[in-house]
Every structure is written in C-alpha cells, then in structure tokens.
Amino acid sequence: MSTTTGSKPVHDWSAAQYLKFEDERTQPARDLLARVPIQAPKRIVDLGCGPGNSTAVLESRYPNAHIVGMDSSPDMIRKAKTALPHREFTVEDLHSYSPEESVDLFFSNAVFQWLGKDERFNIVKKLMEAQPSGGVFALQVPDNLTEPSHVLMRETAENGPWAATLKNVGRDTFQTPPEIYDLLKPVCSKVDIFHTTYYHNLENHAAIIEWVKGTGLRPYVDPLSPEEKEGFLSEYLKRLEKAYPSTYDGRVLLPYPRLFVVAVRK
C-alpha cells in the first residue's frame, strides 16, 4: 500500500478494515498468480503485501522460494508478521525501495494505482532492470474510477461543507493497455495484459461503504472532523442507494473491474 494519494498522505492503513472482505480482496491475487509463467523462482518480493493475504497465495504455489513482503503501512506489516511469522516482512516505500538481491518474481496486488501516473512504470522498469532474463513482474490494480462507487465519492466530496478540504484528493487515472505495453515492451520479451470485472455480493448499500473504507475512501474521510465524516458518509450512502439496485434477496452486487499485467524480462 503506497502512502501517497493525490496531494493528501494516508499515513497508515487499517488491516482490520481491509480484511473485512479478505476473500474478495485475495481472489485477484490468485487470478494474477495463475497467469505467472515462472515455475521455480528462488526469490520473490510481494510489493505492497498488505496484511499478508497475497503473500500466503504466493507461498501456496512456491513453498520453497524465499519470499519477502514489503509495505509502507506499519499496521499491515504487523498483521502480516502475525499471519506468517516464518516469512520476512519489512516496512518500505516503493519510491525508495531497492532490493538487495536479484528478484525472480515481483508480485503486486493493488498498489500501483496509488502512485502518480508519471512515476508508476518508471518504478516498475527500474525494478525490472535488476531482474534476470526470464524474471517476471506481475501486478493488478483496480480499474474503477469510472464506476458509480468512485464517481459518487468524488461528487460527494465536491458538494458539501468539506469541499475545500477535499479539493485535491483523489488518484491519477491508470495507463491504458496500449500505453502499458509500449512502456514495458522495450525491456520485456512478453507483456500479457487482461481485464476482469468481479461482482461482489454485498449485504446492503452500507456494505459498499465498508468495502471502500478499506482503501479508496480513506483519502476522503481521513482529513474530516468526526461531524464532517458522519455527514459525508450519510450523503454518500444516499447517492449509492440511487445508483445500485437491490437484488431479488435485498443484497447489492458491486461491479469491481481490475486490470492485470504480467511482464517477462528480456
């Protein structure tokens, strides 16, 4: 988890909030790993490992590899160390991170969306340059800035007494698949890009808020006073209730698109 979102820092993330939807947040890591071609990597780095759920997925496929999890969130790293005490975890920031040894597989589950658009793939390529031929860089990111959940988040921020406080909050759009391909192909023998939309079956509209509280909503509510936060969430909920129809059994399906990239070093 990167600590920078727009111009507002998120100083730490809540592992407990993130893990309220552990299975749903882990499934993309499983789907990404299924497309990784490397068979027996010796050294793996889980970039933005969060509470260790993606690290556990890596461990299940590569039990004999040396796996290191890094994240900028101390709370996430504390949780990861508790979940997988036999693995190595470290608090690091992607902007300054540099591995001490050659890495066969870099794996990243929902991190690079938090970096600025101009720096994301500069960091990816810098890390890939230190990889051996055949090394793999695999990442996935949410592709949801045009989904109602995030459009309404921004609309709520722009239309309330908190508008001045939240005027610079948000995250950059992500590169398109052709842009990603052109950025990575000069250093890669293969660039595999794919896209999946998950439909998360949630209890109600309030559960959408609980979902986005774990990540995307944090930069919007963290700067607010308790009273402003309550007002913001109330207004946001009203907008969500209009945008997402209830299902036959009263639940809500939350479409959640994600973009996947698996790049193989020349």
> Strands 43-47, 66-71: parallel, antiparallel or unpaired by DSSP?
parallel
Q: Which stretch of 14-28, 86-100, 171-185 has the lowest confidence by average pLDDT?
A: 14-28
Q: By the 8 A CB rule, do 41 and 33 touch?
A: no
Residue 17 has a pLDDT of 58
Model confidence at 78: pLDDT above 80:
yes
| Per-residue model confidence as pLDDT tens digits over 156-169 | 999 999 999 999 89
**How far is 195 from 257, CA to CA, in rounded Å?**
7
Note the CATH number of domain 4-143+171-201+254-265. Answer: 3.40.50.150
Angle between helices 53-61 and 22-33 (to 10 degrees): 40
pTM of the model: 0.90
Model confidence at 67: pLDDT above 80:
yes
**How far is 236 from 212, CA to CA, in rounded Å?**
11
Q: What does the domain layout of the chain look like in residue ranges?
A: 4-143+171-201+254-265
| Per-residue model confidence as pLDDT tens digits over 6-52 | 334 445 555 555 555 678 889 999 999 999 999 999 999 999 999 99
Model confidence at 5: pLDDT above 90:
no
Please compute the mean of the pLDDT values over residues 102-131 and round it to a whole number: 95
Average pLDDT, the chain: 92
Of 156, 99, 150, the C-alpha closest to 256 is 150
